[in-house]
Amino acid sequence: MIKVENIRKTYQMGKVEVRALDGVSLTIGQGEYVAIIGASGSGKSTLMHILGLLDVPDSGRFEIDGTDVMRFSDVELAAFRNRVMGFVFQQFNLLRRTSALENVALPLIYARNGMKGDAARTMLDLVGLSDRIDHHPNELSGGQQQRVAIARALVNNPSIILADEPTGNLDSRSAREIMQVLCELHARGLTILLVTHDANVANHAHRIIEIKDGKIIADFGNPDAPEVPAVERATEAGQARRHFGLHAFREGAILVRQSLRSLMANKVRTALSALGIMIGVAAVIATIAIANGAKAEVEKQLSRLGSNLLTLYPERRTRGGVSQAAGSSSRLSEQDAEAIRQEVGHVARVTPALSQSSQIKVGNKNWSTRIEGVEPDFEQMRSYTPDIGRFFTREECIQRARVALIGRTVVRELFGETNPVGQEVKIDRQTFTIIGVLPEKGSSGWRDNDDTMLIPLQTAMYRLYGEKYVERIDIQVDAAPNMERAQTDILALMAKRHRTGTRENPFTIRNLAEIQDTMSATSKTLSLLLSSIATIALVVGGIGIMNIMLVSVTERTREIGLRKALGARRRDIMLQFLIEALIISFFGGCAGAGIGAAASLVMEKASGWTVVISQDSILLAFVFSAVIGILFGIWPARKAAQLNPIDALRYE
């Protein structure tokens, strides 16, 4: 079954070379019971570790069933350890936070031979521990723990059992029980390879090999070995094949459960690891919510001004280094507005406007506000449909009627809770009747858009202020793609009407769409800046995860070595630590999402800011947290996966 020829193994201890094995050759047949004995440091454990594929010799030839295992890859070695080998260690090497049943079932996680999950119960029953399946290692005696280790070695129905000082940590009674179990296993047809320094233990074997200074000095049969009646080899574990997809799902579920158990064993450390991700995710969601809220507020304010709007102004002129008032060199008239309405294509509505600040009086109250003279089209252009009452008509404009609509601020200051519609107010000793209350528009910067009064344009020009010219002309274009063309045509028309010729056009147009684009771009830049700051918090959280996982790898080095000895591949070890990192990221992300949403709502209530919590921002934060967990979990996971099994098992 096993054949080694001239194998050598040398360890470097500082500047000193220690030759653990020096040209060892031996053959072990199927069904043999072999004891390897020798003093401490003779090389017997090194030989067993090499025979168990836990370590690699420096040179020599090593075959199992005629196959050269020196050429095996890491995956092939792991499969061989899982399928062919069963290990019983002196230190038991049981996982502390798992039950006896889960310890025995551990090799089944990495099995590819279709073994059933109930094989663990069968093996515990075989070693006489069917009543201890839910007990943890600290609830078992030394002998019982070693029985659990033997059951674990048998669970995958291996061909050979390798026992390294199986009675070294046991009292004499427990030692006799364990040796009896090994003898019974040999009687069932298993090959037993036992390493010990105790002659009484070795005397149970049918063949004894003695090693000294890395060389075999004796190899002989043991006539005093106890005879045990042969029994049928245990096959209760079964060989039923299971669907690969089902096995993969079961393996994944077990890895997740074990990862959760490992994380819960260090709750404070796990919480601190998740804290960084939690803060980062909360920051991402809160900042994006604030940025989206700012963008929505800007869009809301601009929508109140109307859509597809152009505003034509007389340009300010400079003469002798002195800036003159708008309209000092050119003026706009009602005829200009009518010309634009008639001659420029794609124009939907036009209204000239004139505004000044004046005092309004109601009884013994007065209030200074901005009074705008406009035409009826202003209602649709600027979304000023009254909440109460009505807008004035074109006939009222022609008749220069003394009617007015007032904003919410004026209502509050002059009328309080009283309905102002139908009430009379005085402006410059002229009496106006309130016919409507304007919708609430809010503030934009320092300006209160609700502190206003609208009156017919002709009333403002001829009855109130005595003006022949208007301050501006508001123009609404039928569609956004036509705004640039309309703007060009309007300026050309003004140049023609005012005979500017080749001189600089004394008119300017303000495009609200351009303002909206600028504000949107600013909002996006702000959002990107805030998100970048929040991403830094996520990266810091990822570094925290990496540090904690590195500590976890160091603390669990022996566990990693045990898993590899039981058949875990590098991929399996790496996957387990990545799952742990992802679990930390997931819970940190969940908590961070809740905190971020709550913080956004608190800021909205406390400061009055508008916040918009979007599903995209939550999804983005979760994706970021998952990516962070993977990226910063890869290095610790890779470090764990690359550990040599025997070096990990020997780690203190």
**H-run or E-run covering 492:** helix 483-497
3-state SS assignment for residue 453: strand
> Phi first, then psi: what are they for 359, rounded to 5°?
-90, 135
Measured CA to CA, the distance from residue 397 to residue 460 in angstroms comes to 10
* Distance of alpha carbon 467 from alpha carbon 332, whole angstroms: 11
- Which tens digit of pLDDT belongs to each residue from 344-360? 998 999 999 999 999 99
Query: 354 with 471: CB under 8 angstroms?
Result: yes
Encode pLDDT of 149-160 as tens digits: 888 888 888 888
Give per-residue pLDDT as tens, 70-96: 888 888 888 888 888 888 887 888 888
Contact 575/89 with Cβ under 8 angstroms? no
DSSP annotation string for 351-407: EEEEEEEEEEEETTEEEEEEEEEE-TTHHHHTT---SEE-PPPHHHHHTT--EEEE-
Cα-based distances in Å from 158 to 237, 554, 575:
11, 30, 25
Q: How sure is the predictor about 305, in pLDDT bands with cuts at 50, 70 and 90?
A: low
- List the domain boundaries for the chain: 2-242, 262-299+518-649, 331-505
Buried-state track 222-232, b at ≥16 Cβ within 10 A, e below 16: beebeeeeeee
pLDDT tens for 109-158 read 887 655 555 788 888 888 888 888 889 988 988 888 888 988 888 888 88
pLDDT of residue 623: 78
Q: How far is CA 106 from CA 256, 261, 541, in A?
A: 14, 14, 32
Task: Specify the CATH class of 2-242 in words.
Answer: alpha beta
What integer pLDDT is reported at residue 48 of this predicted model?
A: 87
Mean of pLDDT values over 23-33: 90
Q: pTM to 2 decimals?
A: 0.60
